[in-house]
Amino acid sequence: MTGERPPLIVFCGPPCSGKTMLAAKFHAETGLPYLAIDDILPRILPGSSFSQEDRDVAYHVLTFTAEQLLVAGHGVIVDANFGRSPHLENLEAIAENCKARLCVVECKTDVAIAIERFRERGGQHPAVDLDEERVRHLNQTYPYRSKGLVLNTSRSVDECVIEVKNQLGIAHS
C-alpha cells in the first residue's frame, strides 16, 4: 500500500453482524490503525448509557481521529454501526478531502446468527442497551446503502478478510 492513497476502510452494519471481529482481524493482518466506536465511547464518556447524544459525541471523536490519521498519510480502519447516515456521510467527505481510498464494507448476516452471536457474548456487548429483541430489530431494519461491499459475514472471518482484500486490491498470504 506504500505510495498509494491511504485507505479508509469502514466496517459497518447492525449489532452482532460480525463487523468488529472482521475489522480486528483485518487490523491484525494489515497493521493499519484501528478505531472502534465501542472502544471510543466508554473511554471518552465513562459510565455512558449509550444514549444517542453520547453516541454522536463518540462518532465525532472517531471521525476527527480518522481524519487526523489520513492527513498524516496513514490508512485507517473504522468500525462502527453507521446506521444513521450523517456519520457515514461525514467520513465520506473526509475521505474525499484527504484523497483517501474509501472502502465501505457493510456487514450482513442472518438474524438468527446475529442473535446467537449476542447470546455467545453472555450479555457482555459494549452497547449496554442491547438485548435479543433489539439485536433482532436492528438487524431486520438496518439501512444498507450498497455504497461499497455488502459482505455476508455468516462465512468464516478468513473468507471475509480475503474478500475485503480482493476489493481493495491487497495481496493476501
Per DSSP, the three-state class of 150 is strand
**pLDDT for position 125:** 62
Structural domains of the chain sorted by starting position, each given as residue range(s) with its CATH number in brackets: 7-168 (3.40.50.300)
Identify the residue whose cell numbers are 464518556. 45
CA distance 173 to 169: 13
**pLDDT for position 123:** 61
Q: Which three cell numbers stand for residue 100?
A: 483517501
Question: Mean pLDDT per 10-residue run, the chain (173 residues)?
Answer: 78 94 93 94 88 91 97 96 88 95 94 93 69 92 90 92 86 63
**pLDDT for position 46:** 92
Judge contact between 36 and 20, C-beta under 8 A. yes
